[in-house]
Amino acid sequence: SVPLLQAARKRNSLNLLELSEAELEEQFVRGDGPGGQATNKTSNCVVLKHVPSGIVVKCHQTRSVEKNRKIAREILQEKVDLFYRGEDSDVFKEKKASEKQKQEKKRRAKENLERKKLFKEMQQLDKE
């Protein structure tokens, strides 16, 4: 079910499973990545674990601990929903719909490119 968990973090998912604070373990650790001293000396990275499922989320998107806590909970909620509901999850359905739209857009772009090539070829033949 690892590929399912990668579908998480998509917006507008309304019908997600609720998390209780009793099921969560929260830690604050030092973040990593770019940012130098501001990143390396402050413990504003949130590590959130859902104990029953064992899913762990690490969030260090902002400097604010409160914002990171909120974002981590949103991500964890989506991942837990995917873990328990699988393909019935709204997050999974949203991901599939966006992939389908992306493929359709690629197909249309390819068709347009072919039309342009044919048009240019026709213009070349008319000039000769």
Rg, Å, the chain Cα set:
23
* Euclidean distance between CA atoms 8 and 6, whole angstroms: 5
Report the pLDDT averaged over residues 91-104: 88
Give me the pLDDT at residue 11, please.
Answer: 52
Residue 4 scores a pLDDT above 60: no
Q: Note whether 4 and 92 are within 8 A (CB).
A: yes
pTM of the shown model:
0.63
* Euclidean distance between CA atoms 29 and 31, whole angstroms: 6
- Span of 7-11, 77-81, 93-97 with lowest mean pLDDT: 7-11
Report the pLDDT averaged over residues 81-94: 83
Sequence spans of domains, the chain: 21-86, 89-127
CATH number of 21-86: 3.30.160.20
Report the pLDDT averaged over residues 67-89: 88
